[in-house]
Amino acid sequence: AQSVTQLDSHVSVSEGTPVLLRCNYSSSYSPSLFWYVQHPNKGLQLLLKYTSAATLVKGINGFEAEFKKSETSFHLTKPSAHMSDAAEYFCVVSNTGFQKLVFGTGTRLLVSP
């Protein structure tokens, strides 16, 4: 079975400072990993996806994540936060080749001026 743990329920940053959202995963097989973002009262939008190609994955809006097998981590980073980044972020895992996604509990990112 697979699972994902998002280590922080809330992260607060100032505009222009780096963002780090932490995610650890557990998977019985080779994992596929995703980060989705959800703005208030909106659906989920894919930020980036890892499927056993390059370990450093670049996504939309300047976000990137690094797959570290030895640490079973897939942390999301961005060099400089923007006010529009304020949203809920979900780390998601699946066993590669399977369709069922397992979602983390989410991290709410707050960005202050």
Partner 1 sequence: DAGVIQSPRHEVTEMGQEVTLRCKPISGHNSLFWYRQTMMRGLELLIYFNNNVPIDDSGMPEDRFSAKMPNASFSTLKIQPSEPRDSAVYFCASSSWTSGNTDTQYFGPGTRLTVL
* Distance separating alpha carbons of residues 111 and 95, to the nearest angstrom: 33
Interface contacts to partner 1, rule CB under 8 A: 32, 34, 36, 42-46, 49, 51, 90, 94-101, 103-106
How many alpha carbons lie under 13 Å from residue 2 in its C-beta half-sphere? 24
- Judged by beta carbon, residue 22 or residue 49, the one nearer partner 1 is 49
Least distance (Å) from partner 1 to the CB of residue 110? 18
Least distance (Å) from partner 1 to the CB of residue 97? 5
- Judged by beta carbon, residue 66 or residue 103, the one nearer partner 1 is 103
Least distance (Å) from partner 1 to the CB of residue 34? 8
* Distance separating alpha carbons of residues 93 and 80, to the nearest angstrom: 26
- Tell me if 63 sits within 8 A of 72, measured CB to CB: no
